[in-house]
Structure 1
Amino acid sequence: MRPSQILSIYSWKPLEHDYFFSQFISNLEFNHLESLNFETDDSHILMSMLSKIKSLSRLFSLTITHRHDYIDLSDIYRIILALPVLKYYKFTTNKPYLSVLLPVASNKRMNNIEHLVMNHHCTFEDLSMITSYTPKLRRLYFINEKESNNLIPENIYPILLCNLTHLTIGDYYKNFNEFEIFLSQLNLNLNVLSITVQSQDITYLNATRWEEFILKYLPQLEKFYFQYSEKIHNEYEYPIKSRQLNQFSSSFWIKRQWVTKISFDNEYITHLIRPYRETWFVDFSFTQLTLLYYPDEFGGITTVDCRRILNTIHIYHLEIRDEKIFAGLLIEMINFLPKLDSLKIHALSFNQSGSLSINELNTLCSIGNTCQITKIYLEKMIDIEEVYLLMKLCPCMTYLKVGYINKNKIKLILRNILKKINHKRISQLHSLCFHVPAIDDKIVNQLEELINNENLLFNFTIKRVFDNIHLKWT
């Protein structure tokens, strides 16, 4: 293939002084190249590549990754912003706090970039200089990872980005007041805003401030992505008032279908706001708690962290992603969550004796009188006793989904569950869903015959949707 026939180049390893580099630099026939993606650790190679890129008159997309060497970002952006037809540009470097020193663009020096990804630290002053060259910008991503002095609006050149609809700010360290000042000066018509906050300013968790800010400066905002992480310390007092998160369930947030989630792992409590996506538990107005990992014992700092969150926030959906959760631990956790409406777990495990302790049984009996959980999703059932425990733990359950069942065992499992429902007179439960790989209509018909022949249910419907069996009754 001749160089003139190449439209796109992607280099999957860092460029060196090798054959490809020498051919690219010396060859003048890449005149149809439209997309270029490369990585280099050598600043001399990078500048040589940029000198060549200046001659590519059809280059629409450029992605550069540069590591392990300091480089003058001003020289790079001076070349890039002069490319006449470039529409997409992404630059990544792991060198922190590099400034971009450019003059403000004149009308004659503006370019056609529509999507700009600055995957490196960028001050607001740098940003104002760079975007003065990009009036057609539609999507912008930048990182502001350096804690600095208070923002001075007079130092920021006015940013006029009338076409900008998507703004993403990663690793943002400034406080909420500075964030407000910055965005309020942009006069944007954003449809999508995404921000990952690293600041410890708890004002970011003030729903009222967000409502006022969005209504005033971002009235056209359709999608809002927000992430605020706080590190777990071995202390009993914390600076963040998690009670504020209850404010994110007001009519303002429900109307826009922006949902609140809380995620635990070993080191951080992460507060998330995301646009609603259809889920198995349906209600987008719920606050969700996701536990990414839990130790075998529910004690020490974990107990402190959980109680701090769970006693101050109304949690309605709980998702535990650990491979297995001990049944006694689940019982204790649900005891902390009186408002819980839906529960998703991967699998349950019991102790070596296969039964609960006396204390756990007492807790289970007390929870049974107050538990409000109506929907449960058990991703993997190892033993049918898991389902029986969930039935006892959640007497208000109306819907149960089991994520994986072998098609050769579905008859026995369904019979046992329905018999348990009838024997215990579990009146609330009226919908089951089983994921059965390779299920077919023949097996569904056999299940229907089983239910009728043994009088397990009367007014019911059963159907297959792909590999899922849906059973409903009244």
Structure 2
Amino acid sequence: MSKTTFQYRCKYIVLPNIHRILSIHLSNLLLIDYFFTSCTFDYLFTRLESFTLNNVKSENLISILTNLAFLPRLFSLNVTCIDKIRSRSFIYYLIISLPVLKYCQLYIDIWNEDFDYLIPNNRYSSLEYLTIGTKCSLNELCELLLYTPQLKRLSCTLSASNNSLSEISQIPVCLNTIHLQLEDISFDEFQWLISSFSLQLQVLSVSTQGDIEFLDAHRWQQFISCQMPILKKFYFQYQTMISGLLVTPEYYYDLMKEFTSSFWHEKQWFFTYQHYKSNDGDSWITFYSTKPYRWSRYDFHEVINQHHETGINLADEVNFYNYQTLTQYPIQFTQTTRLNFSQGDITQNPLFISDLTHLFCPSKITELIISNEKFRFEHLLLLLHQFPNIQFLTIPQNILYLSLPQTETNRLIINKNKIMKVTILNQCTLEDIQILLRWCPNLRSLDIEVQKENLQLVIYYLLSRNTKQIHRNRLPLSLDFKNISFWKQEYNDCISCRNKKNLNSSIFSIPCNHHLSLLCCRNINYKMIEKFRIMINKEKLLNDYAIEYLDEDMYLWW
């Protein structure tokens, strides 16, 4: 959303209706800054129940959370920090102090993994659902549990404690659902934690790697039978790299086979595994629950051995490291919204992209991430054709090349798309950006890295918003951009302008970026910020804008 549009909505929609607003979702660090300087966030938001902050700066977080204490009906809070914070201790203190909060999701990284114990709080939290999306220690979690007696569902990523483990003196009596991502946690440490409230558990989800004790089916069976009498759902995932001659793949096969006994079948808990080779040649085994698959991510690798798997897969994200034939693949990904193409040679299977529609619901895919530099522009266009609702796109710079030059009889056909945000992974040029703007007419946000000597020219081009400025500074349409020839008729108006006039538009019209309002330039020297500010003001490129420098990145919003 542009700065002008947001200012208008704040003034004429938000402020007059403060007492009627039920939910607020903010996802731009500069937009968040403006919102809290223009709106007094206090008890006047009498009906606000849900508040989401994505990409908030850590330096602003404490003041924001302090103001939230005035809200009488804030039941849900979702916070994602764009940068790291020194300690989460005071953040936890402020969240615990929110009077009626029931649901909380936190994604806040810290610089130092040593945990500072919570500031003593005389009150207990009303939290019932807590998700900590970034890594926390066992001691950190134990401290939090002391102040959340009404907690029903917990989800977090756990790491081993540097200090000795402290006993959990107060157990949330309603805690019945736990989802754990374990890092460097042994089975003994895990069992110590879960035993504190295992008698009340109904749902347990565990993802881990490393400690082979987690593949001991008999130990799991005894633990569940003796200490989890009412456990109804159990989801398990274990991953390990096979190295050396001491532990062979067959040894792991035998361990995993023990999870097919009558105990597991009677409870309708089923498992399968993949033995695959990564692109660097290492051999891995992943053992996981199925029917259905409930982990957020699923990977396609070059499989060495795989136990039969069928049914529904509920993964949010699917990653491709191999492009084998998918036509007969017996799994349906019904909830996937993000596709990630990481490695592998897509040219080995030209029909791979067309096969994807057999696995996914095309209308649900909204994000596409391509880090594989073997992809080319025609592959990308085919993916966009197969999945027409893509809004978020991440690509390498070299994808803007075609595999083969075009001919007069083999012209490139580009369909309309809904892409609103693009991230280019490596350094790009003005030429790359011009190509991008030609086939992304709805682009609102751009994240790029440009060589220092070309950066000022690129920013000048992007901010030259009116047609005359763009016409003066653009490259001639007669040029071939990296083998992509633009033969379409040249117009004086951009696509957006022509659509407003109800004229026949062309995808190769002048790339006027009317919708673009947020620019992130990575790896910038802070001294460049003032130069850009002077250029913008001197050339009168923008009337109203905000600029921010954070962790070597520049953010510009207008």
Give the alignment's TM-score, normalised by structure 2: 0.48
Cα distance per residue 1:102-133 (max 9 Å; x no partner): 25665xx1121110111222222221221111
1:113 corresponding residue in structure 2:
127
CA–CA distance in structure 2, aligned partners of residues 21 and 232 of structure 1: 52
Cα deviation for residue 196 of structure 1 reads 1.0
Q: Does the 8 A contact of 2:26 with 2:32 survive in 1?
A: no
Matched, 1:258 2:269: yes
The one of 206, 231, 242 equivalent to 1:195 is: 206
Aligned to 1:131: 145
1:211 equivalenced with 2:221 (yes/no): yes
Paired with 1:182 and 1:69, the residues of 2 have a C-alpha distance of: 27
> Does the aligned pair in 2 maintain the 1:197–1:227 contact within 8 Å?
yes
Provide the C-alpha distance between the structure 2 equivalents of 1:293 and 1:172, rounded to a whole number of angstroms: 23
Deviations 1:236-283 (A, max 9, x none): 553773111111000110001111111345434211024x349xxxxx
d(CA) in 2 for partners of 1:23, 1:265: 54
Which residue is equivalent to 1:284? none
Once superposed, which parts of structure 1, at least 4 consecutive aligned residues long, lie more than 3 Å away? 15-18, 24-28, 103-106, 235-240, 315-319, 321-327, 342-346
Per-residue CA deviation, residues 391-444 of structure 1 (Å, 9 max, x unaligned), is xxxxxxxxxxxxxxxxxxxxxxxxxxxxxxxxxxxxxxxxxxxxxxxxxxxxxx
Name the structure 1 match of 2:91: 76
Deviation at residue 164 of structure 1 after TM alignment: 1.0
Match of 1:245, SS?
helix
Matched position secondary structure for 2:28: coil
* 1:102 aligns to 2:118 (yes or no): yes
Equivalent-residue separation in structure 2 for 1:40 and 1:291 (angstroms): 27
User: In the alignment, residue 57 of structure 1 is paired with which amino acid?
Assistant: P
Residue identity matched to 2:76: S
What SS class does the counterpart of residue 76 from structure 1 fall into? helix
C-alpha change, 1:7 and 1:259, in structure 2 (3 Å) is same
Q: Cα gap change, 1:41/1:87 in structure 2, threshold over 3 Å: closer, same or farther?
A: closer
Aligned with 1:174 (options 168, 179, 185): 185
Contact 2:199 2:230 in 1 (8 A): no
Q: Partner of 2:174 in structure 1?
A: 163
- SS of equivalent residue, structure 1 residue 135: coil
TM-superposed CA distance for 1:40, in Å, is 3.6
Alpha carbons 2:49, 2:76 under 8 Å: kept: yes
Write the distance in 2 (CA, Å) between the matches of 1:42 and 1:215: 46
The one-letter amino acid of 1:238's match is: V
Displacement of 1:44 after TM fit?
2.3
Distance 1:70 1:232, change over 3 A: same
CA distance in 2, matches of 1:191, 1:36: 29
Letter in 2 for 1:20: F
Identical positions, percent: 29
Return the offset for 1:226: 0.8
Q: Secondary structure at the match of 2:173?
A: coil
**Closer, same or farther: CA 263–23 of 1 in aligned 2, 3 Å:** farther
SS of 1:118 mapped into structure 2: strand
Aligned partners of 2:84, 2:239: CA distance in 1, in Å? 30
- How far apart are the structure 2 equivalents of 1:184 and 1:133? 19
Deviation at 1:193, TM superposition (A): 0.4
1:30 to 32, 45, 49: 45
Describe the SS at the equivalent of 1:136. Answer: coil
State the partner residue of 2:301: 293
Q: Which has the larger Rg? A: 1
| Corresponding position of 1:238 | 247
Q: 1:239 to 1:183 in 2, by over 3 A?
A: farther
Higher relative contact order (CA 8 A, sep 6+): 2
* Contact 2:42/2:68, CA 8 A, preserved across alignment: no
Q: Does 1:87 align with 2:98?
A: no
Match of 2:233 in 1: 223
Change (3 A) 1:325 1:345: farther
| C-alpha RMSD over aligned residues | 3.4
Gaps spanning 5+ residues in structure 2: where? 1-12, 279-283, 312-319, 333-347, 349-357, 360-558
Count of residues paired in the alignment? 300
Secondary structure of the corresponding residue to residue 122 of structure 1: strand
**Cα deviation, residue 207, structure 1:** 0.3
| Cα distance in 2, alignment partners of residues 54 and 67 from structure 1 | 23
Provide, for residues 215-244 of structure 1, a one-character-per-residue CA deviation record: whole Å limited to 9, x for no partner. 1111111111111111355x5553773111
Question: 1 CA distance for matches of 2:169 and 2:232?
Answer: 25
Which secondary structure does the structure 1 equivalent of 2:289 belong to?
strand
Report the equivalent of 2:288: 272
Q: In structure 1, which of residues 24, 32, 49 is the aligned counterpart of residue 64 of structure 2?
A: 49
Return the alpha-carbon distance in structure 1 between the equivalents of residues 128 and 237 of structure 2: 26
Q: Which runs of 5+ in 1 are unaligned?
A: 279-289, 295-301, 328-341, 352-378, 381-474
